[in-house]
Structure 1
C-alpha cells in the first residue's frame, strides 16, 4: 500500500506520493494518467515521457501533462516526490499572468518537460515539497490555499530555471518576445488539431505571418511552421506508440481529411512511415 496524501474539495484534487520502488506500480497505472503531474527525482531514477527515455543523473524536476505518456522504469536509491492535481485545483490558464509558465514547463515546443537542479537549488524544492506534505496532515481552513501557494512557488522558480537552461541567456530579459513565445505555444496546444498553418495563428494573433517568423528568429527557435508541424507529429507518434488506432484514424483525429497527405508529412518529418515507426517503437519497448 502506497502512502498517498490527497486533498479533495468539490471537484478539486491534489495529491502527493513518495516516489520509491514500492510506489512505482501504482504511479505507472492508469490511476494518475488523467492528472497534471510534477515529479522531483533523485539520481538513479529512469523514466519515459512520451517517446524519450530519461536517466536522471542529478536531481531534476519533470512536468507532465495528462496527454503525455509517463512510465517510471526504475527508482533511485533516494526517494523522490510525485505530485498530481487536476485543473480544477490549479489551472495554468487562470493563473497565467502570475505564474507565467504555461508553454515553458508544460507542453513546451522543445518537448523538454524537465529542469535540472544544481546543488544550491535543491534545498528550495525539497523544502517546498516537504512543507506541502506537512500541510496534508493539518485540519485547517487555509490548507487548500497554502498547498496551492507552495505549488505556485514551484512553478515560478522552475520557469526561471527552465528559461536559463533552454533559451539563449541573452534573450531571457526580452520579456515581450518571451511572452509572445508562450502565447504562440498555448495557441498551438489549443488548436493544432484544426489549424495547421502559420497564417491560421497569425490571424488569431492579429499580426502578419512574417512578424511571427521574425520573432521566432530573434529567440533562436525553429521556424513557426516547423513548430506547428512538430506538435502534430508528436501527437501522431504518441497515438502510434500508445494506442491501436490506424494511421488513417490518426490522420482524421489530427484534422487531415487526406490520410495520404498526412502520411507524406509524417515521412517528411521523421524519415519513416507511420507503420514502420510503430513497428520499430514496439520492438524496442
Structure 2
C-alpha cells in the first residue's frame, strides 16, 4: 500500500502554473494524466465538478464518495488522491495563486469563500438542484472562453469563475454557520493566514497577537467565538496537518520531518504528534487513514 505514495509534489502540471489557468473536461484530463493516482499536492487552486460516474477521492485525509453534481475545491498545498471508476465526466479547473491578484482590489478575497478552506471537510459540496443548470452553463462558458485567443479572455474567465463561486456560496449547499464563521471576522481570517505562513516557526498565540496588534486574550476570545476553539488549538492543528502531509512521503524519515517542522528532536515531535492525534508518527504511516 505504501508503495503508492512516492511523492507529494507534482510535476506534470507545471505548464498550467505558467499559464495561470487551465480548464478541461474531466475525462480528457484524467486520460492525459493517468499517473496521478498517488497522493500529490498542487501549488495552485484546483476544483472539479462531477457530472457522471462514481469513485472515491481523498483531500487531506478526509475521504469522499464521488457522485454526479458534486463539486470539490482545493487550495494550494492540500494533498489529495483519487480512485475513479470508468465513465467519470465533468469539468476540472486549475488556476494559480496569482490569477486574481491584479483583478481584485482585495488580494485575500478568495479566502472569504467557505469552500476554499484548510479544513478539507468544507471542500466538498453537493450542488443544489435549483442552481445545477446555471453552474453547468457557466462551466461550458468557461470552456468556450478559454478556446478564444482574445485580449479579454482571462478577464472573462475570472468573471465566470467568480460567478460560480458566488452562486455556490449563496446556495443551499453551503453550511451557513461555517460560511458566516469564516467571513465574519477579519482578525480571525488574518490569524489563520498568518498561521499558514509561519506555523513551522511561530508556535505561541501571543506571537501572532503581536503581529495582529491585539492582545492574546482578545485573539483567544475571537477564535472561540468564531471558530469554536482556542488560538493555540488552531496553531497545533495546522502543524499536525503538515506533519501528516509529510508523513505520507516515505522518502522522508520521521527525524527529517521533525527537523522540517522545527522540533528540537525526534522524541519531542513524536510526543507532540501522539498527544494531538492519539498515535505515533510511525503508527500513522501504517493506518488506513492515509
**Normalising by the residue count of structure 1, what TM-score does the alignment of the two structures yield?**
0.81
Correspondence for 1:3: none
Residues 17, 44 of structure 2: 8 Å contact kept: no
1:39 to 43, 48, 54: 48
Correspondence for 1:261: 268
Counterparts of 1:273 and 1:207, CA distance in 2: 36
Correspondence for 2:281: 274
Correspondence for 1:147: 157
Give a deviation string over 1:44-90, Cα, whole Å, max 9, x none: 24211122221135622212234222222115756211101222433
Correspondence for 1:101: 111
Correspondence for 1:136: 146
* CA deviation after TM superposition for structure 1 residue 122, in Å: 1.6
Counterparts of 1:92 and 1:173, CA distance in 2: 27
For structure 2, which runs of at least 5 residues remain unmatched after alignment? Answer: 1-12
2:199 to 163, 186, 192: 192
Correspondence for 2:3: none
Aligned pairs, number: 274
Residues 50, 69 of structure 1: 8 Å contact kept: yes
Counterparts of 1:21 and 1:279, CA distance in 2: 34
* CA deviation after TM superposition for structure 1 residue 219, in Å: 2.0
1:20 partner SS: helix
Q: Which has the higher contact order (CA 8 A, sep 6+)?
A: 2
1:190 partner SS: helix
Of 260-269 and 64-73, deviating more is 64-73
Q: 1:69 to 1:97 in 2, by over 3 A?
A: closer
Correspondence for 1:18: 25
Of 109-118 and 267-276, deviating more is 109-118
Counterparts of 1:32 and 1:76, CA distance in 2: 23
1:180 to 187, 190, 212: 187
Q: 1:32 to 1:270 in 2, by over 3 A?
A: closer
2:72 partner SS: strand
Residues 21, 75 of structure 1: 8 Å contact kept: no
What are the residue-to-residue correspondences of 1:228-243 with 2, within 5 Å?
228-243=235-250
Counterparts of 1:93 and 1:137, CA distance in 2: 21
Counterparts of 2:109 and 2:200, CA distance in 1: 27
Counterparts of 2:136 and 2:78, CA distance in 1: 25
What are the residue-to-residue correspondences of 1:194-233 with 2, within 5 Å?
194-233=201-240
For structure 1, which runs of at least 5 residues remain unmatched after alignment? Answer: 1-5
CA RMSD in angstroms, aligned pairs only: 3.4
